[in-house]
């Protein structure tokens, strides 16, 4: 592989699922025009990282991994011949999950990952945590690369990246939704350096509450 280009879609969310679908698909098209092999969204793009207090509202806001919202990004991946990592609040029992689905450039699901280290000290206490980390071989136009995934708070635990490295990950995609300051950036650099692998993180930009791009 000569090069691998990852587009970090650091864009502000809208107020509805349909608006985020439209804006997300438009951002993917822009990423392809820029030569991207993979387009990555910030954390929980479907709802702009909004986690309602009320259980019924939370469930109503969640979408399934087979929903029209998620499937549209699979279709877009095939249309653009570009992998897409779409993030969403996933319908799940007993409570929704914070999930990433990576579609390969043929529009097929290559990886599904639910955030393992949920922030139980905050609003994520209302979510179901994932239970493992996964690595997949991603066929890109420039060759095959082994891709893994973490989400935001996962980076604070060295074991997350170590498990992915031991499973063969060369690049780890990390959707994010928090202020990225020197300590958090240093954690990502540390995870990359100690495991000799690349890390690509995508945060919401300034303008989204408690986020600042970077």
Q: What pLDDT is attached to residue 120?
A: 83
Strands 6-8 and 38-40: parallel
Give the distance, in angstroms, between the CA of residue 77 and the centroid of all CA atoms in the same chain. 15
- Which helix H or strand E contains 198, and what residues bound it? strand 198-202
Q: What pLDDT is attached to residue 48?
A: 96
- Length of the chain counted residue by residue: 214
- Which helix H or strand E contains 166, and what residues bound it? helix 158-166
Pair 102, 173: CB distance under 8 Å: yes
Q: What pLDDT is attached to residue 121?
A: 84
Angle 72-153-58 from CA coordinates, rounded to 5°: 55
3-class state of residue 193 by DSSP: helix
Q: What pLDDT is attached to residue 40?
A: 98
Distance CA 202, CA 114 (A): 16
pLDDT by position in tens, the chain (length 214): 678 999 999 999 999 999 999 999 999 999 999 999 999 999 999 999 999 988 899 999 999 999 999 999 999 999 999 999 999 999 999 999 999 999 999 999 999 999 999 988 888 889 999 999 999 999 998 899 999 999 999 999 999 999 999 999 999 999 999 999 999 999 999 999 999 999 999 999 999 999 999 8
Distance CA 131, CA 154 (A): 12
Q: What pLDDT is attached to residue 1?
A: 66
Strands 198-202 and 171-175: parallel
Structure tokens at 32: 């392809």
Rounded to 5 degrees, what are φ and ψ at 96? -60, 165
């Amino acid at each position: 592989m000569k090069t691998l280009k990852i587009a970090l879609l650091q864009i502000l969310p809208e107020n509805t699922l349909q608006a985020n679908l439209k804006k997300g698909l438009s951002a993917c098209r822009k990423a392809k025009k820029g030569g991207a092999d993979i387009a990555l969204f910030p954390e929980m793009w479907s709802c702009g990282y909004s986690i309602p207090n009320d259980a019924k509202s939370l469930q109503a806001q969640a979408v399934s991994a087979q929903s029209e919202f998620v499937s549209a990004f699979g279709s877009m991946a095939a249309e653009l011949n570009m992998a897409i990592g779409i993030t969403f609040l996933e319908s799940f029992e007993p409570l929704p999950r914070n999930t990433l689905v990576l579609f390969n450039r043929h529009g097929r699901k290559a990886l599904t990952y639910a955030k393992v280290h949920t922030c139980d000290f905050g609003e994520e206490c209302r979510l179901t945590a994932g239970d493992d980390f996964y690595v997949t071989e991603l066929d890109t136009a420039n060759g095959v690369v082994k891709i893994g995934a973490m989400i935001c708070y996962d980076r604070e635990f060295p074991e997350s990246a170590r498990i992915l490295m031991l499973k063969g990950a060369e690049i780890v995609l990390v959707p994010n939704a928090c202020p990225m300051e020197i300590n958090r950036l240093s954690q990502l650099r540390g995870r990359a350096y100690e495991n000799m692998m690349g890390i690509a993180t995508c945060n919401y930009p300034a303008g989204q509450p408690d986020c600042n791009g970077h």
